[in-house]
Amino acid sequence: MGTIKTFAEKVNAFNRQLEYNGRKLPPGIRIMNPFKESRQTLAISESFYNKYYHDHATRVIIFGINPGRFGAGVTGIPFTDPKRLVSECKIPFEGKPTHEPSSVFVYEMIHAFGGLESFYGKFYINSVFPLGFTQAKDNGKEKNYNYYDSKELLLAVKDSIIDNIRKQIAIGVRTDICFCFGTGKNEKYLNEFNDEYLFFKKIIALEHPRFIMQYRAAKKQFYIDKYITHFKNVLAH
CATH architecture assignment, domain 7-13+25-235? 3-Layer(aba) Sandwich (3.40)
What does 49-88 look like in DSSP terms, one character per residue?
A: HHHH--S---BEEEEESS--TTTHHHHSSTT--HHHHHHT
The pLDDT profile of the chain, 237 residues, written as one tens digit per residue, is: 568 999 999 999 999 999 999 999 999 999 999 999 888 999 999 999 999 999 999 999 999 999 988 788 899 999 999 999 999 999 999 988 889 999 999 999 999 999 999 999 999 999 999 999 999 877 778 898 999 999 999 999 999 999 999 999 999 999 999 999 999 999 999 999 999 999 999 999 999 999 999 999 999 999 999 999 999 999 998
